[in-house]
Every structure is written in structure tokens, then in C-alpha cells.
């Protein structure tokens, strides 16, 4: 059977094939018209580029080993962008896709690529709202994602404070191990089929942690409600204008400016720290060590990490040495977990809600260095650096 190639159907023919992957009536013009963010929320925009032979390995890249199906490449491309939105505390609105392709690529390959994208996106009701295609000697997938977040709930890298706990939302090193299994079929033969599949799936089908955003939003909203449960020294029911007011009716829904005497509520009564949860963070797509160092650098702080608290895949104990396992966890990358710095009580609550894999792995310190320190002596102390992880240049 002869494969139908892109050069056989042309640009317009390919666009017609891809249009069913988008919502009806959204594509077909020079730009997509989409609703604005909900009232009070800001727009969050992020872009990720995946290149064949760099971020994934497909037979069209001329590489000796194919580790990524077109469906997996599409999934990973979508997941990378959704992970960036999750790292900002944002919920997704939609994406655009820019494709650079050779004319010899099969039309079915592109359709399968979009199938993988939509499989990932459909988990979060996120549509493809447009894009572009062009001829190129190398396959490139460039996605721009749009999300929304309330400005005071946006997670930035600059908010880490001394004393904050450092949380990881899941295991690290699994994606790197999965890649090793794909590149070296003889590696890890003693693993069970389920263990092999789990590691390979971590590499080919990473899950963006948008579920964490929902949990953090609930924490923030609860704190805002609890911030009203104060009683200033001069608090008396008589201070309020309503004759039928009872203390038990003090709820956020009926707190209106007209109900409060100015003398009973001074600005000093409500401190900003009680009205919002201070969080810093980013995703670990470039490696756990990279994320921690980047956050500390942006926040002007240091950190101390306990290597024994970094969660690893259970199968690592029979796959690699402890030193190799730690190296993959720190520098392997592409695990798409979140690394968050927040007050200890909130951190412990979040870890309990997330369950297995999530952990408090260290704390923010003064200074500007990030140290891995093991009090048990299993691992040598080391200074974490950006230089050891993957860098494009």
C-alpha cells in the first residue's frame, strides 16, 4: 500500500485534513476569535517548541532509533505547554499549533500527531483553535497555549521565602529511565512488564499537573474565607449598624462596606499574608535541580535539599545504583511535575492531598546556594548547578 504524502495533497489539502481536530467555526480565518478570560482573571501565554531528534525521535528525523510514535509526540507537545500553564497556576483555554514538515512525511503521520495532541487536551477540555504549517528539512512542533488565572493566584518563581518548604508533586527520574529503556532494549530486562511499561509511559505520555492547580486554588480561597474569622479588640456586635445583626451571621457573603463601621476595621487588622497563600514554583520539565536553582535564583534565596526525601519510582531499587537514581531524578528532566515553595503547614496539607509520590524534600534558606545535604551519609553533599542539566546551547 502506497502512503499518501503531504506533497501529494498540498498545503490546503493538509489543512482540510486537520480542521476536524478543531472546534467547528473556530478555524478558517486569519485568526481565531475566542472568549476573553473570566471576569477578574488575567491571560497567561506560553510557547514550547519540540524538534525531531532533540525532543523526540521519529523515523522521519533520520535517527537510528525511533523512540516516539507520532501520537506520543503530539501528546508530549501538548503536555509540555499545559505543564507550563499549571506551573503558573493557570487553567487552560486553548492552543495554537505551528508545524514545520518535510514534503515526504505521510499524511497519516500528521493525523496521528494531532490524535495524540487531542487525547491529551481532551482531558482538560482544551481546544486547538488555530495554527500554521510550512515546509522545513526538520519536523518541528511549536505550540502556544493560552490560560487564565487570577493575578493574586499566579505562581511565579520570585515568591520563595526563607523557611518555606519545598514540595515536589510526584516522582522524578521516571522519564529518563523510560528513555533509557527505549534506547537500550537490553537494559532493565529483570523488570516486570508492568514496571517497564510504567517507566516508558512516563517518558512518552507525561501528565501535566493541572490537578494541583485546583487544590492550590481551594487552599487560597479557604484562606480568604478564614481571614474574615478575626475579632479585633474592639469587636462588639453593637459596633455594627444592622439592629438584628448576630455574631453568627458574620460570613463573607454578607460582609458589605456599608455594614462595617470604619472605626472597627482598620487596614492594619488584615495583613496581606493572611489574605493570600505565598507560593513560588515552576515545573520540572528541565530537571528537578534546574527548577530548584531557577526558583532560588529568581527569589534571591538558597535551599537545602534532603536527597532521601526525593521520591523515586519503586523499580529504581533494582534498576540502577542509588547514585545513578539520584542523578536521573535531579538532572534527567521531562518529568513534568511541579516544584513549589510555600509555608510548611500549607505544604504538608498539599502533600497529604496529593498522596503517593508527593513530598516535602527540603527548605528555603538564606544565601544564594542550593545544597544537597544528606545527614545519613548515603550521598555526598553537593552543590546543585544549572551546568549539569540539559542546555540547548
**261: pLDDT confidence band, cut at 50, 70 and 90?**
very low
**16: pLDDT confidence band, cut at 50, 70 and 90?**
very high
- Name, in order, each residue with C-beta under 8 angstroms of 293's C-beta and a sequence gap of 6 or more: 370, 384, 385, 386
Q: What is the mean pLDDT of the chain?
A: 85
pLDDT in tens, 132-155: 999 999 899 999 999 999 999 999
More confident residue, 247 or 152: 152
Lowest mean pLDDT among 43-57, 75-89, 166-180, 347-361: 43-57
Q: According to the model, what pLDDT value does residue 27 have?
A: 86
Three-state SS across 204-256?
HCCCCCHHHHHHHHHHHHHHHHHCCCCCCCCCCHHHCCCCCCCHHHCCHHHCC
For the domain spanning 6-30+37-150, the CATH number is 3.30.1330.10
Mean pLDDT in residue range 82-99: 97
Q: According to the model, what pLDDT value does residue 229 have?
A: 53
**391: pLDDT confidence band, cut at 50, 70 and 90?**
low
More confident residue, 302 or 256: 302
Q: According to the model, what pLDDT value does residue 267 have?
A: 33
Q: Which residues are annotated as a binding site for substrate?
A: 55, 334, 390
Mean pLDDT in residue range 54-80: 76
Q: According to the model, what pLDDT value does residue 393 have?
A: 56
**277: pLDDT confidence band, cut at 50, 70 and 90?**
confident
pLDDT greater than 80 at residue 265: no
Q: According to the model, what pLDDT value does residue 62 have?
A: 46
In the chain, pLDDT over 70 holds for what percent of residues?
Answer: 82
**195: pLDDT confidence band, cut at 50, 70 and 90?**
very high
Would the CATH topology of 6-30+37-150 be identical to that of 165-219+276-383?
no
Mean pLDDT in residue range 300-317: 97
Q: Which residues are annotated as a binding site for Mg(2+)?
A: 30, 46-48, 84, 132, 283, 286
More confident residue, 33 or 170: 170
Q: According to the model, what pLDDT value does residue 221 have?
A: 77
pLDDT greater than 50 at residue 392: yes
Q: According to the model, what pLDDT value does residue 257 have?
A: 38
pLDDT greater than 70 at residue 336: yes
Q: According to the model, what pLDDT value does residue 249 have?
A: 39
Q: According to the model, what pLDDT value does residue 226 have?
A: 66
Q: Which residues are annotated as a binding site for ATP?
A: 114, 131-132, 157, 285
Q: According to the model, what pLDDT value does residue 120 have?
A: 98
| Residue 382 bridge partners (DSSP) | 372
Strands of the sheet with 280-283, listed across from one edge: 280-283, 338-342, 165-168, 359-365, 302-305, 370-372, 382-383
Closest-CA residue to 288 (of 365, 386, 363, 381)? 386
Q: Which residues are annotated as a binding site?
A: 30, 46-48, 55, 84, 114, 131-132, 157, 283, 285-286, 334, 390
pLDDT greater than 50 at residue 13: yes
> What is the pTM for the complete model shown?
0.84
Domain residue spans in the chain? 6-30+37-150, 165-219+276-383
Q: According to the model, what pLDDT value does residue 25 have?
A: 84
Q: Which alpha helices (DSSP H) does the chain contain, by range?
A: 6-18, 70-87, 107-121, 174-183, 193-204, 210-226, 272-275, 288-299, 322-331, 344-354
Which is the CATH superfamily of the domain at 165-219+276-383? PurM-like C-terminal domain (3.90.650.10)
Instruction: Identify the sign of the CA torsion 332, 334, 337, 343.
Output: positive
Q: According to the model, what pLDDT value does residue 220 have?
A: 79
Amino acid at each position: 500500500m502506497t502512503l499518501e504524502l503531504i506533497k501529494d495533497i498540498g498545503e490546503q489539502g493538509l489543512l482540510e485534513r486537520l480542521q476536524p481536530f478543531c472546534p467547528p467555526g473556530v478555524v478558517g480565518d486569519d485568526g481565531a476569535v475566542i472568549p476573553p478570560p473570566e471576569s477578574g482573571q488575567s491571560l497567561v501565554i506560553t510557547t514550547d517548541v519540540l524538534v525531531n531528534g532533540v525532543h523526540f525521535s521519529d523515523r522521519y528525523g533520520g535517527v537510528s532509533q525511533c523512540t516516539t510514535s507520532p501520537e506520543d509526540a503530539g501528546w508530549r507537545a501538548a503536555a509540555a505547554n499545559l505543564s507550563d500553564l499549571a506551573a503558573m497556576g493557570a487553567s487552560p483555554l486553548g492552543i495554537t499549533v505551528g508545524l514545520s514538515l518535510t514534503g515526504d512525511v505521510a499524511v497519516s503521520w500528521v493525523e496521528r500527531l494531532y490524535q495524540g495532541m487531542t487525547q491529551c487536551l481532551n482531558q482538560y477540555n482544551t481546544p486547538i483553535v488555530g495554527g500554521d504549517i510550512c515546509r522545513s528539512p526538520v519536523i518541528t512542533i511549536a505550540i502556544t497555549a493560552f490560560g487564565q488565572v487570577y493575578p493574586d493566584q499566579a505562581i511565579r518563581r520570585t515568591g520563595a521565602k526563607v523557611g518555606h518548604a519545598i514540595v515536589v508533586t510526584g516522582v522524578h527520574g521516571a522519564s529518563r529511565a523510560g528513555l533509557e529503556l527505549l534506547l537500550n532494549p537490553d537494559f532493565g530486562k529483570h523488570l516486570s512488564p508492568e514496571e517497564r511499561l510504567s517507566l516508558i509511559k512516563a517518558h512518552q505520555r507525561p501528565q501535566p499537573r493541572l490537578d494541583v492547580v485546583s487544590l492550590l486554588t481551594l487552599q487560597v480561597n479557604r484562606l480568604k474565607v478564614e481571614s474574615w474569622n478575626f475579632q479585633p479588640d474592639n469587636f462588639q456586635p453593637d459596633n455594627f449598624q444592622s439592629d438584628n445583626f448576630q455574631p453568627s451571621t458574620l460570613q463573607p457573603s454578607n460582609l458589605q462596606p456599608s455594614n462595617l463601621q470604619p472605626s472597627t476595621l482598620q487596614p492594619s487588622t488584615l495583613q496581606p499574608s493572611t489574605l493570600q497563600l505565598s507560593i513560588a514554583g515552576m515545573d520540572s520539565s528541565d530537571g528537578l535541580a534546574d527548577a530548584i536553582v531557577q526558583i532560588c535564583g529568581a527569589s534571591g534565596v538558597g535551599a537545602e535539599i534532603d536527597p532521601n526525601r526525593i521520591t523515586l519510582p519503586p523499580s529504581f531499587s533494582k534498576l540502577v545504583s542509588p547514585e545513578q537514581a539520584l542523578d536521573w531524578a535531579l538532572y534527567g528532566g521531562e518529568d513534568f511535575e511541579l516544584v513549589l515553595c510555600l509555608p510548611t503547614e500549607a505544604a504538608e496539607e498539599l502533600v497529604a492531598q496529593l498522596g503517593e509520590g508527593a513530598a516535602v524534600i527540603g527548605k528555603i534558606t538564606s544565601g544564594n546556594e542550593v545544597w544537597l545535604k544528606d545527614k545519613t551519609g548515603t550521598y555526598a553533599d553537593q552543590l546543585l548547578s544549572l551546568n549539569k542539566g540539559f542546555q540547548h546551547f
